[in-house]
Chains A and B, each alone.
Chain A
Amino acid sequence: MKILALDTSTEACSAALLMDGYVIEEFALTPREHTQMILPMVQHVLSQGGVALHQLDGIAFARGPGAFTGLRIAAGVTQGLALGANLPVMPVSSLAALAHGVWRVHGAEKILTALDARMHEVYWGAWHVLGEGNVQAEDAGECVLAPASAQVPHTADWFAAGSGWSAYADTLLPRFAAVLRAVDHELLPRAHDVALIAAHQVMQHGWLPAAQAQPMYLRDNVADKPKPKVAVRP
């Protein structure tokens, strides 16, 4: 299977090409330069792999949670590429990608991901990595919550990953210390993992049409409606 994968969900920017088992990746820490970097990265991995866009099976992207604008850059570029090259798409959780990265780098199988969501909240998820590309969500799956509300697991030996673990260390670490084996708060979601997870998801459920390249924000209360005027009875 040949998959192009994009991630612009955090301050990192990456593109990866999965080529029947091996992965070519371009990755950079580029806050606010995603629009400059992402297409040259795509160009680079495609030429490294020696394939044209239309020869791919489909395009995967990190659909969130993460920075709203970044999510829409990946979704927008994916939509444009998919429409232009007549390809299907596969949205992948950025938290699942982060968990898969932990599995790939540290060998851990049980991962608690927390990305700083600002506004005193984290994007939270508990994951089991069962094998390459196979990431299962624990319990309720992903959510956005106050660090104090994050559920402490009943089992031990969890690996903590993501910026939330440093941003809210004071709240999270005392509560989770007993069940954690290690913390890596610098690891970020990467297109490499997005590609591998997408390949697994495609095997299970098949591709999706390009229009379904949509962000998953998790936070949906983004604006306050004006307060209705209360009618005063005479």
Chain B
Amino acid sequence: MIVLGIETSCDETACALYSSERGLIGDRVLTQAIHAEYGGVVPELASRDHVRHLLPMVDGLLRDSGVAREDIGGVAYTAGPGLLGALLVGSAFGAGLAFALGVSAIEVHHMEGHVLAPMLDDASIKPPFVALLVSGGHTMLVAVPEIGRYEVLGESLDDAVGEVFDKVAKQMGLGYPGGAALAKLAESGRAPTHAGAQAGVPPFPRPMTDRPGLEFSFSGLKTRAMQILRQVEAGESPEQGRADVARALQEAMVDTLVIKCVRALEQVGMRNVVVAGGVGANLYLRERLSATLEQRGGRAYFPRQAFCTDNAAMIAYAGWLRLNAGQGALVSSFAARARWPLDQLSPLA
């Protein structure tokens, strides 16, 4: 069976084809450029862009993959969570297409797609594991005893990890979204030190690691970073100061995530962590988490860089798994949900 996956939950328009025989056949992603000049995603503009680009993208993918529309055995579309108007473009298109082809459609949970993304490249990844979801919209630890069963262990009480990186990067003049540019800048930062401004900035706190629990809170850390940033920018070497802040921030954020991952593994008695979401592309996080888990006899799994951010390959794959398990149905109505708790999903079997 070949499944067409469609993703339009935020500012990426994407489609992909996943086949039982051939695995991932092809995928396309278009990151909307229009939002940069607004300093954030404008939902109405995102929706308008999706409806403009989705059909030519799917058409092109089918043509270039040599897949005829009659070969599509199922349609998987992201039904939430995300921007309601944006989601509706993908669900209306996906439902219309499945209806016309007379095949089943399946609503895919965006975050389940992210959790399963590493499996696109490594079929050996199997539950049980803890999933760390880190993006511009989410910071979440989830226990995954089996595919489809997700127990949320802890979330951010305020800002998401990617949001903090993006906001500080914006303040540094690195553009929007600037999380990746901030990580790059951190490479030339000096190690944080208590010795004073001459040798880098003081280390930043690791919020909520001094008490039990798996919740996160990053807004205080963000405020601290912004304060120090203003100080170094008013100082003698603002360029070096910015890099120092980037490094200190990244170390504090990643440290906090690693500490909580280990704590989550201990709590649920598991060994492995699957990382998903845009911040999963952060190399420092990859290094630190992998090293820490190896010491504990476990492993950290990451999706390939391109599948850390929003994509349709993960949606096609998640949809394929569920359609293969006999879920999905011929289309009558379709839906989009801005909110959709991950623990409301049903197991595969």
Contact = CB atoms under 8 A, between A and B. Distances in A.
B96 A77 contact: yes
Contacts of A14: none
Given A73-B92, A77-B92, A84 B69 contact: yes
A230 B28 CA distance: 39
A79 B100 contact: no
Contacts of A36: 333
A81 B88 CA distance: 15
Interface stretch (A90-98, A166-174, A219-227): A219-227
A121 to B, nearest CB: 16
B88 to A, nearest CB: 6
A211 interface: yes
Nearest to B42: A223
B172 to A, nearest CB: 15
Contacts of A83: 55, 58-59, 69, 97, 100
B51 A81 contact: no
A53 interface: yes
A146 B59 CA distance: 40
A40 interface: yes
**Listed residue (A35, A83, A210, A222) with the most chain B CB atoms within 10 angstroms of its CB:** A83
A201 interface: no
A81 B333 contact: no
A69 interface: yes
A68 B93 contact: no
Given A35-B88, A39-B331, A84-B97, A72 B47 contact: yes
Interface string A201-229: 00000000011011101000011011000
A42 interface: yes
Interface string A107-137: 0000000000000000000000000000000
A110 B347 CA distance: 60
A51 B57 CA distance: 29
A148 B333 CA distance: 41
A39 B85 contact: no
A215 B39 CA distance: 26
B97 A81 contact: yes
B284 interface: no
A37 B95 CA distance: 12
B332 A81 contact: no
Nearest to B97: A80
A43 B98 CA distance: 13
Contact of A76 (B38, B42, B69, B96): B96
B325 interface: no
Interface string B91-124: 1111111111100000000000000000000000
B293 to A, nearest CB: 42
Contacts of A75: 51, 92
B54 A85 contact: no
A42 B45 CA distance: 29
Contacts of A73: 88, 92
A80 B99 CA distance: 8
B333 A39 contact: yes
A10 interface: no
A36 B51 CA distance: 20
Contacts of B59: 83, 210-211
A69 B95 CA distance: 16
Interface in A134-187: none
A22 to B, nearest CB: 24
A222 B88 CA distance: 18
Contacts of A9: none
A215 B51 contact: yes
A226 B39 contact: yes
A23 B332 CA distance: 22
B55 A211 contact: yes
B214 interface: no
Contacts of B51: 72, 75-76, 79, 214-215
Contacts of A77: 92-93, 95-96
A53 B38 CA distance: 42
Interface string B68-100: 010000000000000011001111111111111
A222 B47 CA distance: 12
A68 B39 CA distance: 23
Interface in A56-94: 68-69, 72-73, 75-86
Contact of B45 (A69, A86, A222): A222
Interface of B: 37-39, 42, 44-45, 47-48, 51-52, 54-56, 58-59, 69, 84-85, 88-101, 331-336
List the 5 closest A-B pairs by CB distance, nearest first: A80-B96, A84-B100, A76-B92, A80-B97, A77-B96
26 contacts: A35-B91, A35-B334, A37-B333, A39-B96, A39-B331, A39-B334, A43-B99, A53-B99, A72-B88, A76-B51, A76-B54, A76-B96, A78-B96, A79-B54, A80-B94, A81-B99, A82-B100, A83-B55, A84-B96, A84-B97, A84-B98, A84-B100, A214-B52, A222-B42, A223-B44, A223-B45
Given A35-B335, A76-B54, 13 more contacts: A39-B333, A39-B334, A68-B47, A69-B84, A75-B92, A76-B90, A76-B91, A79-B51, A79-B96, A83-B59, A84-B96, A222-B44, A222-B45
